[in-house]
Structure formats: structure tokens, C-alpha cells
Amino acid sequence: MLADENGRRALLQGIVELTRAVFAAKACSIMSHDAAAHELVFEAVAGEGAGTLVGRRIPATTGLAGWSLASEEPIAISDVGSDPRFAREVAEQTDFVPTRMSVHPLLYGERSLGVLSVLDQCAGQPVGLADMNVLARIATHAGAVLAIVQAVREAESVLADGGELASIERVLASAPAPQREAALALLAALERLLSE
């Protein structure tokens, strides 16, 4: 399922479809953070905007999603209509202006990978502590799935370019176990060094 992009999208789509159904929401989306472009990218959308938003990008500092991504904290708004900036941004992307919105960061390990947004949820009822708790659990799961999807994409990208890293991967695949283990330890150390 992870071997092709359609399968990866289906994994993420399943999460937003389920979340939308659980919370009786009009829409639900997962956006990933493209750190290089400093943008949020719609990865999966259920309900309003499902046919048009996937692949679209917005600045990573945009509104509640931007705050949740940067602060790594969730927030639930019961009346976004009075936030003029939020309403304008949404209207530009969809024709749908929600009145309630919950945004949870998608965290995996120590990384903030994107956000999960739920629009007009709970059939008009305010979001309570228990709802936040359930959404937190879904977002925790979604964060793990997004991390896997992104790792597979990165691996695919590395292998596709046919460069030195791809050569190393080919050598590693056929290396005896002791050499392979030592090489992987070296690569792990290199990753830590470069990510400091």
C-alpha cells in the first residue's frame, strides 16, 4: 500500500474520512508541512473541499493552522466567524466558511509534521474536554502515519535520483550482516550530526 502514492494518500484519506464521521463534521483535512517552502500542503480532505483542495498550498504561518504547527499545541474554536483573517483565508480556498474549527498538530517524535483540522464538528455543539481528548488520540495516530508516508517518499526520492545515496543503498543491501550493521550505525551517527 505504501509502495505507490495512491496508496499513501488512501491511508491519510481514511483518517480524515473516519474523523469526519466520528465528529459529524462538515470537513476534515490533513496538511503536511513543507519546511523548505515554508508552506502547508493539503494531503487529504474529506467533505467540503474534498475534490479541490488536495495538493493546494498555503503559507505555513496561516491562521489557526499556522499557530498550531508553530506552537505544537491544539486549539478548538467555537466561533471562527468573528476572526476576519481566518474567514478570508478559508473563503479563498473553498467557498465554505465554517463557524467551528479544531486544529491539532501532527507530532511524531520531536517533529511537528503538519496539522489535522476538523471543521463544523459535533453538530453545532461546543467542543468539550472529551472531544479534545479523542481528537488528540486521532492526531497522534495521524502523526505516525504521516511520518511513515513522508519517510517512504523521501526514500523513494533518494533512490530515484540514482546518485551516491542510491549507490550506498545498493551496496548495503548486498553487504554481509556485520558490515551492514556497522554501516547503518555510521549513517545513524551522520544523521544525528547533520540534524543538530
Partner 1 sequence: MAEGIADEELPAWSLDRAAAAAKPQRSVWPLGDARAWAWGGATGAGVRVCVLDSGVDAGHPQVGPIQGAVAVAPGDDGELAVVPDADGDAYGHGTACAAIIRKLAPDCELHSARVLGGELTGTGPVLLRGLRWAIEQRFDVINLSLSTTKSRFAPELRELTDRAYFGGTILVASAHNMPVASFPWRFSSVLSVGSHAGSDPLEYYVHPDPPVEFVAPGVNLELAWLGGSTIRATGNSFAAPHMAGIAALVMSKHGRLRPFELKTALRAAGTNVSTAA
Residue numbers at the binding site for partner 1 (CB under 8 A) = 22-24, 38, 60-61, 63-64, 66-67, 70-80, 82-85, 104-105, 107, 109-110, 112, 122, 126-134, 136-137, 139-140
Q: Which is nearer to partner 1, 137 or 170 (CB)?
A: 137
The DSSP element (H or E) to which 103 belongs, if any, is strand 101-108
Q: Which is nearer to partner 1, 8 or 33 (CB)?
A: 33
Q: Which is nearer to partner 1, 8 or 90 (CB)?
A: 90
Distance CA 189, CA 183 (A): 10
DSSP 145: H
| DSSP for 3-72, written as a single string | TSHHHHHHHHHHHHHHHHHHTT-SEEEEEEEETTTTEEEEEEEEETTTTT-TT-EEETT-HHHHHHHHHT
Closest approach, Cβ 124 to partner 1, in A, equals 12
Which three cell numbers, joined as nine digits, stand for 163?
Answer: 546518485
- Left, alpha or beta for 34 (phi > 0: left; psi -120 to 50: alpha)? beta
Q: Which is nearer to partner 1, 48 or 89 (CB)?
A: 89
Three-class SS state of 164: helix
Q: Which is nearer to partner 1, 8 or 98 (CB)?
A: 98
Closest approach, Cβ 105 to partner 1, in A, equals 8
Closest approach, Cβ 129 to partner 1, in A, equals 5
